[in-house]
Structure 1
Amino acid sequence: MLLNWQLTLAVCGGAGVGLGIFLVVRELAPATPALGPALRRLHQPAETGRVAAPASRRLDSLTGLSRWLRPPHRQLALINQTPEQYALSVLLSALIGLATPALLAVMLLVLGISFPLVVPVLVSLGLAFMAGLLAHRTVLAKADAARDEFRQAVCTYLDLVALQLSAAHGPVQSLERAAAVCDGWVFDRIQESLKIAQMQMHAPWDELRDLADKIGIPELGDVGAIMRSSGSEGAQVHETLRSRADSLRDQIRTDNLARAEAVTSKLDIPAALLVFVLLGFVIYPFITRI
């Protein structure tokens, strides 16, 4: 009977590890780029704010799983990930959490240490859930860091657009030249949106607004709203851009101060516990003498 349980656990653990290795190799293996999804990204409807079709046929089989998991679309679009990649990361993390206790249980059984079967099963399920949740929280943490970086870059972009307008450049040219001045993934995303607007013959500020709705950065949508009045009404908006950049910097500074105060307030708990520990050391000799 013990041998049957050992064989069952060994087969289940080996199957889980083998499936995880297969998915990793399948993801890393080079494949022919799919032309259809790339064209659909260039011609996606303007009214939708959801993520486009999967960027590669390698992850099409995970589409149903990604819908079931209900991924955070705006956070994924911000860090340039697809729902299928999110589902793959959560699945691999859960499989690793599921297989690790099973392998340890098999090793202990081989060494002759027996225990109830319910223990590794419950530990595997709990660890799989925690690993999947950790993968989800990692995506959210990356998106929060990317959002902060994007907002800071938008401040610089506002100033650069204002300088281009002050140099007597047109609204469209000011947006394109300001995006080409700096390097970084934020300005690459902005340049990509401006190129899409140029190829589709759309207004660049409308494309910036769509990008802002897609990734959840309303500050970028403010740039498009301000430049729309300049392009359609001919208004002089360079002072408006500079004042918006200053107000955005003040908002970022306020958010950072609030975050720092929240972290500082959490430090009061261990300090209070330390006071109680020291008080116990002081009172203990008097209590022992009574």
Structure 2
Amino acid sequence: MVVVGLKPAQPNLAAAVRRLLPTEATSAAPALDDATGFGAWLRRRVLPTAAERLGLKRFAADLQLLDRSMEHLAAQKLGYGVVGLVFPTFLTGLLTLAGLRPPVAIPLAVGLVLGGVFFFLPDAVVRREAASARASLRRATGAYIDLVALERLADAGSTEALDRAAAVSESPEFARIRDALLRAQLAGRPAWTGLSELAERTGVIELADVADVMAVAGRDGAAVYSTLRARAASLRTQLLTGEIGDANAASEHMVIPVSLLGMCFMALIAYPAFVRILFG
């Protein structure tokens, strides 16, 4: 497993081309994979069925935000579950070789518990990573709205303003926005439809707001500088409020360790007195 993990993966040209296609074509395109072998059989036959049976469509938005597939999550869940199920038995075998013979029920019970915990562990990891990625994309969206407003102030057209603002940074969030704009342009649609699709895929509704504003500007030629700056200011206020809430929650969580530390310190001070009173 270590050797397979360290082996460089061969790029899949079909998957790379499908990324540049519209969302409808991407969902309808067949998964072309000419590879052969056990791994290819798992990817084509077992993992899609497992993803459907496990109901992993509920993670579709989070997985698209992380550029992962439901089959990848299904492989993680099954692999982690098998590891958690087998590890206690493997450890029991080592103890048996060392001369210890624990009861058979212990590895079975521990294996079932660990298998269940490890099976649901990738779900929590995906939710946490998706929440972090969504927050990063939302912060980048705030900066992007300001840049689009400045481009509009410089008399740039709607499409030109969106493209120029997205080309300012090389961060992954801006790269995702550029990919969405490029997809829309290659499909022969207005650039702001790419932002709407990206907002739908990632759950960052602020991108849809920018798309709506720029659509109005593109159709009617409306002046949207003030509207964009107001949206950016509102988004920054929301982000600041969320960060303040997270900081307050972290401060409240620190109350318990500090209280336990104080109780341990008081017990350490009072211990000699209690020993003297109880035992003379």
Q: TM-score, normalised by structure 2?
A: 0.84
Cα shift at 1:263? 0.7
1:137 alignment partner, SS class: helix
Q: Does 1:68 align with 2:53?
A: yes
Matches for 1:105-116 after TM superposition, within 5 Å:
105-116=92-103
CA distance in 1, matches of 2:66, 2:30: 15
Matches for 1:196-235 after TM superposition, within 5 Å:
196-235=183-222
Cα shift at 1:112? 2.5
1:63 maps to a residue whose letter is: P
8 Å CA contact 2:87–2:111 kept in 1: the answer is yes
Structure 1 residues 95 and 33: alpha-carbon distance in aligned structure 2, compared to 1, 3 A threshold: farther
Cα shift at 1:179? 0.9
Cα shift at 1:266? 0.7
CA distance in 1, matches of 2:167, 2:151: 12
CA distance in 1, matches of 2:198, 2:28: 12
- Higher mean displacement: 105-114 or 156-165: 105-114
Residue by residue over 1:137-157, the C-alpha shift from the partner in whole angstroms, topping out at 9 and shown as x without a partner, is 222221111111101110111
CA distance in 2, matches of 1:122, 1:281: 39
Unaligned runs of 5+ in 2: 34-39
Matches for 1:42-121 after TM superposition, within 5 Å:
42-45=21-24, 57=33, 58=40, 59-61=43-45, 62-71=47-56, 72-121=59-108
Structure 1 residues 117 and 145: alpha-carbon distance in aligned structure 2, compared to 1, 3 A threshold: same
Cα shift at 1:245? 0.9
Partner in structure 1 of residue 13 of structure 2: 33
Residue by residue over 1:228-270, the C-alpha shift from the partner in whole angstroms, topping out at 9 and shown as x without a partner, is 1111121100121112111111111110010010010011112
Partner in structure 2 of residue 10 of structure 1: none
Partner in structure 1 of residue 36 of structure 2: none
Unaligned runs of 5+ in 1: 1-20
Q: Does 1:259 align with 2:246?
A: yes
2:167 alignment partner, SS class: helix
Cα shift at 1:101? 1.8
8 Å CA contact 2:148–2:165 kept in 1: the answer is yes
Matches for 1:242-281 after TM superposition, within 5 Å:
242-281=229-268
- Higher mean displacement: 211-220 or 128-137: 128-137
1:174 maps to a residue whose letter is: A
Identity of aligned residues (%): 33
Structure 1 residues 257 and 52: alpha-carbon distance in aligned structure 2, compared to 1, 3 A threshold: farther
Structure 1 residues 52 and 245: alpha-carbon distance in aligned structure 2, compared to 1, 3 A threshold: farther
2:127 alignment partner, SS class: helix
Cα shift at 1:111? 2.3
Cα shift at 1:134? 2.3
8 Å CA contact 2:20–2:183 kept in 1: the answer is no
8 Å CA contact 1:79–1:143 kept in 2: the answer is yes
Q: TM-score, normalised by structure 1?
A: 0.81
Cα shift at 1:99? 2.7
